[in-house]
Every structure is written in structure tokens, then in C-alpha cells.
Amino acid sequence: MRDLGAGFRYLLKGQRWVARHGRQYGFGLVPGLITLVLYAAALVALALWGAGFVGWATPFADDWSSPWLGLFRGFLTVVLFALGLLLSVITFTAVTLLIGQPFYESLSEKVDRDVSPDGTAPESGLTLGRELWISGRDSLRIVVRALLWAVLLFVLGFIPFLGQTVVPVIGFMVTGFFLTEELAAVALQRREVELRERLALLRARKTLVWGFGTPLGLAFLVPFVAVFLMPGAVAGATLMARDLLGEETVEDGATGEDGATGEDGADEPVAPAH
């Protein structure tokens, strides 16, 4: 339970960090807004032409009598839109992070410098193209894992009582885990921590991860909320990544954006929370 609370505190600390660094917050909003516009356009197109697509894909039903033809194709249209909406929720973070790689990389580095005792941040030394390739490849692997879980939970959802109580809770926990992995990857990739090692780190501290990712996943169900929380989520995940790796971190807010001591003058290191 202690780790659960610590994970949620990292989420709050990340939001507080971007609130104190307005310029970084403004830059961090850009990728989310771009992704939101793209996804909104895709969903609107699906709503407008989904029925036509279903009709094209089911020519065998053209001769069905009323009302069965309308009910059948109407049901498939609703399912198609629901699947599109589910896919947009699952992939929103991955696509936003991919589009915003340079933005979030810069933000994460500044968080590292702000809380590092010596004011430095790890650097990957990779070109932007290589970073985008690695990020895209790993994000695809995570999305595939998340979709497999989504299919499994969808099937389990038909089990009476458990499908309406336990399964949704498990679903939010799974979403929180993969969401946290995507966000923490920004900081961990700069430290050359590969996907398999990242997953092992997160599994070793699952309650910490759930405390961070599960409430964030619930908030991310609202697309506009996801856009405005994303910069703080990256900042919080960077702070949590330092904890996972056992890196020394100065008190949150002790240093300014340029590494100078803050108003309270506190620069005493604190041990990572466990």
C-alpha cells in the first residue's frame, strides 16, 4: 500500500513540476493537441462513413428483409465505432509520445537536471531518427501486448458477475501498467534500458506502477484531459524512473529550471521512495 501511495504522489509531483515550468508545459501540450485533432478527424470519418463501409463489407446481406438488414448492419456499425474508440484510447499515449519525442525528451531531461544532485541528466547519444525508430518499435510491441490483454478481458467480460465487477478493475490495472511503461520509457530509453529490462523493473514494483498509472488511465479516458495531463505525466514518470533505478534525487522543487536553488534553498538529497 505504501508503494501505491508513492506512485500516486509521483503523478502529482509531475503535474506540480510542469505547473512551475510554464514554458515546458506549453511545449508539452503541442503533441497531444496534434494527436487529438488526428484522432478526432478519424473518429468523425468513422461516424460519417462507417455505415457505408459496413454495407460494402457485407454484400451477402443485401437481400435480407426488413428489419433484419437494418438491425444487422446497424449493430456492426456500432461495434466498428466502439472498436475504433477503444483503439484510440489504447494507442493515444503511444502515438502522442511518438509525435512528441523531441518535446518530451527535452522535458524529461530538464526534470532530471532539476532533481539531480549535480544538475546533470543522462543522454542517450543517439540521433533523433534512431530514437524515433526505437520508440516506435517498442511502442508497437507494447500496443500489441495491450491489445492481447484487451481481447482476453473482453472475452472474460461475458462471465456473469465477475465480468461486470472484477474484470473492469483488472482492465484498469492493466491499462495503468502499460500506460506507465510508455511514459517511463522516455526517461529509461535515455539510460539505454531496453524494453525487456523496463518491463522487469515495472513488474518488480507493480503497486508503485498501479498507483501512478491506474488513476492516470482513468483520467485519460477523457481525451481533452489526456492532452492537458500528458506533460505532467511525462515529468512524473521521469521522477518515478529515478526511483526504480535507485538514483539519488533532491527534494522536489529544490532547484529551478536552470539548476539553481529554489526559494526555499533546499538542496539536501532524499532517498528514493520504496
pLDDT digits (tens, 9 = 90+) for 215-228: 998 888 776 788 89
Residue 188: pLDDT band by 50, 70, 90 thresholds? very high
CA dihedral sign of residues 195, 200, 203, 208: negative
Phi, psi dihedrals of residue 265, rounded to the nearest 5°: 70, 10
Residue 214: pLDDT band by 50, 70, 90 thresholds? very high
CA separation for the pair 14, 240 (Å, rounded): 9
Residue range 58-70: mean pLDDT, rounded: 84
For the packed helices 2-20 and 206-219, what is the interaxial angle rounded to 10 degrees?
50
Task: For residue 17, give the nearest of 115, 103, 122, 120 by alpha carbon.
Answer: 115
Residue range 235-240: mean pLDDT, rounded: 95
Sheet strands (E) in the chain: 249-250, 269-270
Residue 208 and residue 243 in contact, taking contact as beta carbons nearer than 8 Å: yes
Between 265 and 85, where is the model more confident? Answer: 85
pLDDT at 259: 41
CA separation for the pair 167, 107 (Å, rounded): 36
In angstroms, what CA-CA distances link 143 with 93, 169, 171, 259, 263? 10, 19, 14, 36, 42
In angstroms, what CA-CA distances link 8 with 18, 61, 116? 16, 51, 21
Question: Does 90 have pLDDT greater than 90?
Answer: no
- Is residue 28 in a domain? yes
- Is residue 67 in a domain? no
- Is residue 154 in a domain? yes
Question: Does 159 have pLDDT greater than 70?
Answer: yes
pLDDT at 26: 86
Strand partners, 261: 255
Mean pLDDT of the chain: 82
- Is residue 178 in a domain? yes
Q: The whole model's pTM is what? A: 0.76
- Is residue 53 in a domain? no
- How many separate domains does the chain show? 1
pLDDT at 223: 64
Q: Which residues contact 196 (CB under 8 A, 6 or more apart)?
A: none
- Is residue 256 in a domain? no
Which structural domain range is residue 129 located in? 2-34+90-249
CA separation for the pair 266, 206 (Å, rounded): 31
- Is residue 155 in a domain? yes
Residue 261: pLDDT band by 50, 70, 90 thresholds? very low
Task: For residue 184, give the nearest of 174, 195, 173 by alpha carbon.
Answer: 195
- Is residue 54 in a domain? no
